[in-house]
A and B are shown apart, each in its own frame.
With several copies, the nearest count.
Chain A
Amino acid sequence: MTRELTVDLTSVAGAAVLRPGGDIDMSCAPAVRKAVANIMRDRPERLIIDLSAVAYMDSSGIATLVEALQQSMRNKIKLVLVGVTPQVHSAFEITKLVSMFTIVATLKDASNA
């Protein structure tokens, strides 16, 4: 378990990839929020959030993603979610937010979605 934020900036496609790890709950969502804000400041064309290492997310995590979506729309950044695990998908479903987001299966799809 490292506590460092993993951010890969794939310069080729102009896409930033954020890959949070662990559970995103009340105690951890603020750190993800900050990481998203930092990336937004660089105005990438595309922000890919890879959730494949996130086994659990509660409403604070979802709120963080909704906020990111709103910021990305304002800044004309394409936001794509990839690697949504089952519990995280349930949380999106029960809050009826699945359709709000562009969700794809693989990182490759995320560059084209």
Chain B
Amino acid sequence: MDREPCISVRLFSDPKLLSPIRAFVDGLSKSIGFSEKSRGLLSLAVDEALANVIRHGYSERTDGLIWLNIWRLHEPAGLRIVLEDLGRSVDPTLIKGRNLADVRPGGLGVHIIKETMTESKWEMRPGGGMRLTLVKLLAPEERENSSPTQSENCTP
């Protein structure tokens, strides 16, 4: 990993915070050059990951701690987000999306995360809880929109 994360966020496991975090991820991924569609999926994937921590890690308690460490990646350009919590630790092999042929409510979050991200890895955190590493690289057609030198959020 290049240097320190460009942004670190610490939040409580409160579902009310999902919406502002989505807005933030959308804004950040816009500034990196992700297309509108990619940004929607990225916000969705991070939302699903946080919802799983709240639901499974903290059993819907709203006072659990969650950390998001965020890196901009360069060459290839993209975004790395590491989520950590102090909730229930589970064997990462048990975290799997369900078979989509079996249509029933629930069990879609992990599938969405894996499909959206270039890389997604669950681990048990040494100090307790879980760590989820998410990476999404820009698609080739998005790379033209991303310029490391100039500001990304304007077309002056």
Contact = CB atoms under 8 A, between A and B. Distances in A.
Interface of A: 1-6, 20-28, 31-32, 34-35, 53, 56, 58-60, 62-64, 66-67, 70, 86-87, 90-91, 94-97, 100
B155 A58 contact: no
A22 B104 contact: no
Given A91-B44, A94-B115, A21 B155 contact: yes
A78 B54 CA distance: 34
Contact of A4 (B43, B152, B155): B155
Interface string B101-120: 00111101101100110000
Contacts of B87: none
Where chain B touches its partner, the secondary structure class is helix
Interface size class of B (residues with CB under 8 A): 35 or more
Contact of A94 (B55, B116, B151): B116
A62 B108 contact: yes
22 contacts: A5-B155, A21-B156, A22-B153, A22-B155, A25-B154, A26-B47, A27-B19, A27-B153, A32-B156, A35-B156, A56-B43, A58-B51, A59-B48, A59-B112, A62-B105, A62-B108, A63-B105, A66-B104, A95-B100, A95-B112, A96-B100, A97-B100
Interface of B: 15-16, 18-19, 22, 33, 36-37, 40-41, 43-44, 47-48, 51, 54-55, 100, 103-106, 108-109, 111-112, 115-116, 145, 147, 150-156
Contacts of A56: 22, 40, 43-44
A19 to B, nearest CB: 9
Contact of A25 (B36, B37, B40, B51): B51
A86 B15 contact: no
B47 A95 contact: no
Contact of B155 (A20, A26, A94): A20
